[in-house]
Amino acid sequence: MVRQNPIIRVLGLLKTRKKAVLFLFLLVFFSLILDLSVPFITQNLIDRFMAFFKNGGAAPVNILVFSAVGILAVTVFSRFLRSTYDYRLFMEVTQREDAARRAVLEKYYKLHVMFHHGASSGQIIGRIERGASAIYTILHDILGQNFVPPVIIFVGVAATLIYKDPLIALTVFWPLPVYIASIQRTMNRIYEIERKVNEEFEAVSKESYDIAANILTVKKFFQEKPELDNQMKLLRKARVTQYSAERLWKIMENLQTFLATAGRIGVIIVGGMFVINGRSTLGEFVLYIALNNMVYVPTANLANILPRLRRNLPRVERLFALLDEPVLVSDKPGAVPLPYHGQKIEFKQVTFCYGKENRPALKDVSVAIKAGERVALVGRSGSGKTTFVNLLLRSFDPEKGSVLIDGH
């Protein structure tokens, strides 16, 4: 079975919340439009002042007051929209996290006994907790301040700069393809390392839960120190792997800072030459610098989201792997609820085997037990007594034959 991309699956959690997501998008869109208007107000104010100093005439007091009031109003309203966006986003994301947690726990409770026999409950619960937290992180990063707003800013600033001066636009954006190309290989390495980190920390969690569940046995045999030493050994191993990923992150951050600074210097040089040559006004020069900052400050957040996504994707994949586990024991459609008091239970030619390679634990067993009868299951170890009871409780279904209660 081909598994769907984990990011697509995480975003699929929002498919029933399309109106809410659209509302969030509109909130952040209008907020960013308001933010984008501030540099233009500032440009107009500076150009009016420069014209006043050059040509004289009436002092632009009205322009100064209107600009100040406009910037204040725009900033306050933008902040209000952004706060509303942040609050509603937090509500949506936490609700999706809780819904995913419920779905996985429900699936975990329904899984067959054979799965639970072969899995560590501590390891599974740790996987669920980390996976649910990863869903929150991915959704909040994508819809929050680290992805959607930077993308909108990028598109808005790119359109503005191309309209104002294509050469300035090229100067602002040339480092981005270089950065993306340079980090692609590093991101793939981080992804593989983070998968290993998750597996090693799951082993730490498994060991912790196992010790906690059997602490009395540990104390009876005076194994506190050996168990503690083993825990620390597993933890150190996981940390060493984790630190290697952290070093790669820092390399990416330094590269991003270098390229962002190169872009800013390029804008200052090219924009300054345009002012000297009379191609641009001083107000436009300030506008270019402001727009450059509007691109690279959120782009830094966008650069940070990529490693975080790489860190959390393996956790989400392991969560979805649990959700994709087949349910081997389930009721047929239209199954009849059993009455409280039955007449008899019956095994009809029941065969059950633990794994295809093993011999059957029960083979062609047929027995009927009436209500009120006392029946003893006698046999050596491994003869199928526990399997008989587990089949009766429907911990798993027989491979052949039927287990019936009152003929059902």
> CA 202: distance to chain centroid?
17
The token pair at 391 is 């089949």
Look at the chain and report how many structural domains it folds into.
Answer: 2
Q: Do 319 and 348 have their domain in common?
A: no
Looking at residue 253, its pLDDT comes to 77
Q: Same domain, yes or no, for 361 and 282?
A: no
**CATH number, domain containing residue 251:** 1.20.1560.10
319, 350: one domain: no
User: What pLDDT score does 84 carry?
Assistant: 94
115 and 242 together in one domain:
yes
- pLDDT value, residue 304: 67
Residues 209 and 149 in one domain: yes
Query: What's the pLDDT at 20?
Result: 92
Splitting the chain (408 residues) into consecutive groups of 10 residues, what average pLDDT does each group show?
A: 77 91 91 90 91 84 92 94 93 94 90 74 82 91 79 83 87 78 75 84 84 84 89 92 86 79 87 90 90 75 71 86 82 71 82 78 88 86 85 83 82
Would 152 be classed as within a structural domain?
yes
- Parallel, antiparallel or unpaired: strands 344-352 and 400-405: antiparallel
Nearest to 307 by CA among 138, 155, 89: 138
169 and 291 both lie in a single domain: yes
Domain membership of residue 66 as a residue range: 6-323
Output the pTM of the full model. 0.72
Q: For the domain that residue 359 is a member of, what is the CATH number?
A: 3.40.50.300
